[in-house]
Structure formats: C-alpha cells, structure tokens
Amino acid sequence: MKLNYKRVICVGFAFFLISAFWQAYDKTIPLILTYKFGMKQTLSGLIMALDNILAVFLLPLFGALSDKTKSKMGKRTIFILIGTILATVSFIFLPLIGNVWVFVAVLLATLVSMATFRSPAVALMPDVTMKPLRSKGNAIINLVGTVGGLIVLAVGLVVKVGETTMHNLMTYYIIVCAVILLGLIIFLLTVKEKKWAQEMQEDTAKYCPEELTEEQAQNNEGSKKLSKGELKSLLLILASVALWFMGYNAITSKYSLYADKVLHQSYDLTLLIAQGAAIISYLPVGFIATKFGRKKTIIAGVIMLALSFFLAIFIRADSSPILMYVLFALAGIAWATINVNSFPMVVELAKGGNVGKYTGWYYTASMSAQVLTPVLSGAIMDAVGNMLPLFPYACICVALAFVTMFFVKHGDSKPVKKKSILENFDVDD
C-alpha cells in the first residue's frame, strides 16, 4: 500500500487555484478599498472579514451538498468547475468598477462563488486516498496549493501594484485569472474523480477491510451517527483547530504592527521565513505522522508552536533579529506539523458519503477562529494600552489547544499490516 503521488498532485491543482486566488485577494482588495475608494481602516477591515464570515456558514453547506451530488464528473469536480468559472468571471471585473457599492456587491458574489467549491475541493483528497495515507496526501495538496500562491506572489513582484501604480491592477488581474484557469484546466484534464474514488474503495477493501465492513454496516442500518466517544473526539479536535488558529492568526494579522510599535524595526522576513519553513516541512511531517500517529505528531507541533510564541514574549528592540527569525522558523515547522495532520483526523471520523460535511465543519472551526481572534486580541491590547499582550495571548490559545488535543481518543490513522513482503516493491500506477 503506497500513496499515489501523481494522483494526489493532480487533485492538488484544485487547491492550487484556491491559493492563487486568495494570494491575489489579500494583496489587492485592501489597496483598492484604501486608495481607490478612500475607505477608513475599520470599514475596510470589515469588508476584508467578509470571506471568513461567509465561510463559517457556506463551507459546511456546500460541503454537505457535494456529498449528495451525483453527476457525470463526480460529486466534487462539478462544484470546482462551476465555482471557479463564476469566481474568475466576477473577480476580473473588480478593477473596472468605479462605484463602491457595486464593487462590494461584485466582491460578495466572488466570495460566494469561491465558497461553493472550497470544501468540495479539499474533500476530494480523502475521496481518492485511503485513510492511513491521508496525512501524506494532505501534505501534498498543501504543497501544490503553496506553489499556486507563490506563482501569484511572483506575479505581484513583476507587476507592481500600489498607491502610485494602481494602473497596473488590470494587468495583474488578467495574469492571475489566467493562472487560476490554467490550474483548472490541468485539474480537469488529469483528475478522474469517479474512477479514482472507486479504486480507493477497492484498495480499502484489500488493505483495510475492517474500515469498509464498518461503514457498510452503518449504511445498511441507515445510520451514520458517531459513537459517543467519536463525537467527543470530533468536538475536541474542532475545539483544538479553533484554538490554534486563534493563536496563529492573531500573530499573522497583527505582527507587522507589533514589530513597528514594540520592536521599533521592520521584520519583513519573519513571516516569509515561517512560510518557507512550513513548505519544507510539509512532506516530512506527513511521513512522521504515518509512522508515529497523527495525534502524537500534532501534539509535538502544538508544543513547538506554544514554545516559539512564549519565547517571543521576551524579544525586545535591542534583541538580535536572528532570534526572531529562529522562533518564526520553529513556528512555521510547528504550523505545518499541525495543519497537515488535523484535517485528516477530522475526516477520519467521516464515512464515505459525508466527507464534504466534515470538511465543512473543519473550516467552520478554523474560519470562526479567524473572525473572532483579531477582535478579541485587539480588545485585550486596547484594554492594556499597548501591544505587549499579543504573544502571551497567542501562547495561551495554543496551550489550551494542547489540553483539548490531549483528550482526543479517535481520528488517528490505523496502521496497516502488509500482506506480503513483496508489497514493499509496489510501484504507483
């Protein structure tokens, strides 16, 4: 039993185009709202939060809808095709709109279009990947998604967009939309959802027959309800997801301001270092989880993340910049360790017919945290009168995630015994 890397990379192109879109969205929408429409930061921030607010409600909805969809292309691919086209068409018109309310309306349509296929796109990996291999699979799709974001980041370096270069905006959008559509074309040409999903079921029957037997029994009984223990574990995992996203997102959303006000210097490289460390770590942590288990790997990542935030509390303006770079590299590795394995733990508890619904629940937890944490952390810092509580706040959130994760009993991958030593020489098709 081996992961089919070629297959998962092809599935990852759905994540590629999602990451490409959000990289362009995060770069340009604040600029348009500020420089073109002259919005204050409060209103601009509210509009920028729309994607997370919509995601809380729409991602579970469309994830569940995709579970019940039947089409010639499969239950996920049809959402990816229609959603991407609608999002691209509305997105490319944004630079041309001169009325702020029309702009917001079209932006809202774009965000809804993106929400229609995000859960189905992510749920496709578990659909075509056996449960014990999903940590590796999640590492691959995250890596392919990161490539999409990096390509758009490179486009931004070539086609500069800012207060004095807003005239380049349309060129930037045309190139970004071309990248997104190219990712969609590659996905449609290479992914055979229905065939691969059927082959996954056959592989499960061959290597993990107990998984298939359990699921068939539940389906025959007309029940897909979790046991009391499984439900408790699911809620604890989702609570953990919310808590570590609250800690990490508080740092990523406010660190540039913290560096200016507390450290009195620019740390432009720190978040880039964290992202680079995460990219390098994706594949190794997938292999580690396969060997040692997802829960143990996640707990190790949570400890590393809490430690990096705790030590960052003591960094001041006269500290060596290298110390912060090291801590953010550790945070990036920790974040990859957590993220690669947390989503597979959630869908491990799903049955074949409701992976999309569980994917939506995962995103409800993470998106809710990202809506709440900028407000909560900001309120705490306003109450104190400075930004010093930022890293203690993040550290406490992650430490609480350790507590909730510690009591999780279900969702880990089950080791698979090889039937023959000859299987060590299996080659991916």
Look at residue 420 in the predicted model and tell me its pLDDT. Answer: 42
Of 100, 114, 93, whose CA–CA distance to 169 is shortest? 93
**Exposed, middle or buried, 243 (CB in 10 Å: 0-12/13-18/19+)?**
buried
Look at residue 215 in the predicted model and tell me its pLDDT. Answer: 53
pLDDT tens over the chain, length 429 residues: 688 889 999 999 999 999 999 988 888 887 888 788 888 766 777 787 788 888 888 988 999 899 899 888 989 999 999 999 999 999 999 999 989 999 999 999 999 999 999 989 988 998 898 888 888 888 899 899 988 988 988 888 788 776 566 678 899 999 999 999 999 999 999 999 999 989 888 888 887 776 655 555 454 444 457 888 889 999 999 999 999 999 998 888 777 678 777 887 655 567 678 878 888 888 888 888 888 888 999 999 999 999 999 999 998 888 888 888 899 899 999 999 998 889 889 988 887 578 888 988 998 999 899 888 888 888 898 888 888 999 999 999 999 999 999 999 988 865 545 544 343 334 344
Q: For residue 121, how many C-alpha atoms fall within 13 Å in the half-sphere facing its CB?
A: 31
**Exposed, middle or buried, 217 (CB in 10 Å: 0-12/13-18/19+)?**
exposed
Domains detected in the chain: 5-220 (1.20.1250.20), 228-406 (1.20.1250.20)
Rounded CA gap, 235 and 408, in Å? 9
Look at residue 419 in the predicted model and tell me its pLDDT. Answer: 47
- Pull the structure tokens for residue 85: 């086209």
pTM above 0.75, yes or no: yes
Per-position b or e across 369-408, b if 16+ CB within 10 A of its CB = bbbbbbeebbeebeeeeebebbbebbbbbbbbbbebbeeb
Look at residue 42 in the predicted model and tell me its pLDDT. Answer: 67
Rounded CA gap, 20 and 153, in Å? 8
Look at residue 237 in the predicted model and tell me its pLDDT. Answer: 95
Rounded CA gap, 21 and 121, in Å? 14
